[in-house]
Structure 1
């Protein structure tokens, strides 16, 4: 088994690599060539979350599982709140193939999924990017979004506004004017990315203008919530996987309130494969409920493993 530690990932997988890998996974899911297993997700108390995401991708030849979760007290220890490790197995024999550090990979694949939704669903003339959230993954989200649309400025809100400076610095690197705003001004945005760990809705229905595309990337557990359910009631809703969207994603709240039927949710992969046209008008609100599926983790981890083998990196151990 090859061990690829976290420290090697940045040199093995780029944001562009992650975009290609995740897009291929969405397409494979749409074609019925890949599927995720049931998610195991547990609350450990004090905001800590731990669980397993796994699946089988016949098209990509990947079988595996990501173990990890969210530990909000980690900042006090100088480490990131999201902690995870990906394990890959031979789909024919079940033998372990690799153990891969999953921290950076998780941020890259989450940002890639968001960017794919923006690329496929946002208006081509989108010029203002709104960011709700300024934690560790927000910077990845901002960079990924800027790769698929020619934004002219960024507006952002965070529960703890002092954290917005870091996001502003990334916007400056990208040459984009940046402004911290109250949530009411998100109505100016053409694309809004939410990336928080909120237990209650921050972004409300009245904060979103017609024609906006939203990538809701933070809700991945029962009880989490980033946006008001009424917003999903008037939007065209897309998801990485419908089952997860309804059970642990943003759609859980809208479905429970009777504002959204699960049958009205479209897999994003169907847009990629042409089964669904995507955005139908400039006034349509489109919303991507990105819960993060195990197949995404396997795809980016497999890419890291391939690169590590090619470059003679990582450590081989006998199990």
Structure 2
């Protein structure tokens, strides 16, 4: 078995490589060449933690495995980030364990790459203003990934805890973009592309907030009950996701479906747009991508980083 330690990931996996891996796996999913296994995600009753497993099999790339881990909201007291995970890969031919890969940075990179795929294919033409809802750990990755696929001229942002907005301001400065802190009605009215990346359990961005031609990448909802968007906002949009079944079960669209505002059939896999099977936003004024975070994303970036680690001699071999 090969081991790629968490400390090695930053020097191996680039945002560009993450983007390529995620775009490819979305395309394979839409062609029915890759599929995800049912997600296990549970509150364990300790430290307010959510723990679970996401796995799948990509028949095109012969990638098989799972990610184990979750969300520990009290980790600041331990000097750790809230998301903790490890990816395990298995030989698709024999079933033997092939690799264990640190999954913390990879989770942030693959989540950002997923929203970037949606922005590349669904952003309105001439989009200039990027709106950020949320200023947590993953927000910087999201902003960097978005800027790589589209030429934004300004970033505006909101966070429930305003003191954290310095992270967004600093990231925008790194990208050479002006930043302005705004309220949610202003963000919804002025942003051409909006990324929401929070752990909210009630809607933050309301239907009345979004008034123009907009694309929203809703990246925070990955558990039953979580919610960032007003269901009425979802109901008037053209809808896309990584995986439809997961979106309606634990993703952002679960609420609009439960309220009977949309049908499951109204949701399209983003891979169909990547493959050219679906036209994308077309004439829609509003598009929403529900990034629920599927296991195949984790496997794709983990497989990519294992190959990079082998090429650089940084993959440790362990006999089990």
Partner residue of 1:107?
108
**Is residue 41–residue 49 contact of structure 1 (8 Å, CA) maintained in 2?**
yes
**5+ residue gaps, structure 2:** none
TM-score scaled by length of structure 2: 0.98
Partner residue of 1:29?
29
CA distance in 2, matches of 1:53, 1:265: 21
RMSD of aligned C-alpha atoms? 0.9
**Is residue 6–residue 104 contact of structure 1 (8 Å, CA) maintained in 2?**
yes
Quote how far apart the aligned CAs of 1:14 are. 0.3
CA distance in 1, matches of 2:214, 2:124: 8
Q: Could you report, residue by residue, the CA deviation over 1:11-35 in whole angstroms, capped at 9, with x for unpaired residues?
A: 1110000000000000000111100
- Where 1:254 maps in the other structure, the secondary structure is helix
1:185-204 alignment runs, 5 A limit: 185-186=186-187, 187-204=189-206
Q: Could you report, residue by residue, the CA deviation over 1:33-70 in whole angstroms, capped at 9, with x for unpaired residues?
A: 10000000101245421100000001111000000001
CA distance in 2, matches of 1:198, 1:191: 20
In the alignment, does 2:257 pair up with 1:251? no
CA distance in 2, matches of 1:26, 1:125: 25
CA distance in 1, matches of 2:27, 2:80: 34
Partner residue of 2:15?
15
CA distance in 1, matches of 2:302, 2:292: 18
Quote how far apart the aligned CAs of 1:314 are. 2.6
1:272-283 alignment runs, 5 A limit: 272-281=274-283
Which of 268, 271, 275 matches 1:269?
Answer: 271
CA distance in 1, matches of 2:144, 2:17: 14
CA distance in 2, matches of 1:239, 1:70: 22
- Where 2:17 maps in the other structure, the secondary structure is helix
Partner residue of 1:58?
59
- Where 2:99 maps in the other structure, the secondary structure is strand
Partner residue of 1:227?
229
- Where 2:94 maps in the other structure, the secondary structure is coil
Q: Could you report, residue by residue, the CA deviation over 1:226-252 in whole angstroms, capped at 9, with x for unpaired residues?
A: 011111100001000000000000000
Q: Could you report, residue by residue, the CA deviation over 1:107-156 in whole angstroms, capped at 9, with x for unpaired residues?
A: 00000000000000011200000000000000000001111111111110
CA distance in 1, matches of 2:221, 2:285: 23
1:295-314 alignment runs, 5 A limit: 295-314=296-315
Partner residue of 1:79?
80
**Runs of 4+ deviating beyond 2 Å:** 44-47
CA distance in 1, matches of 2:64, 2:211: 41
CA distance in 1, matches of 2:44, 2:198: 19
**Is residue 51–residue 67 contact of structure 1 (8 Å, CA) maintained in 2?**
yes
1:166-205 alignment runs, 5 A limit: 166-186=167-187, 187-205=189-207
- Where 1:213 maps in the other structure, the secondary structure is strand
CA distance in 1, matches of 2:211, 2:95: 49
**5+ residue gaps, structure 1:** none
TM-score scaled by length of structure 1: 0.98
Partner residue of 2:130?
129
Between the two proteins, the alignment pairs up a number of residues equal to: 318
CA distance in 2, matches of 1:77, 1:57: 36
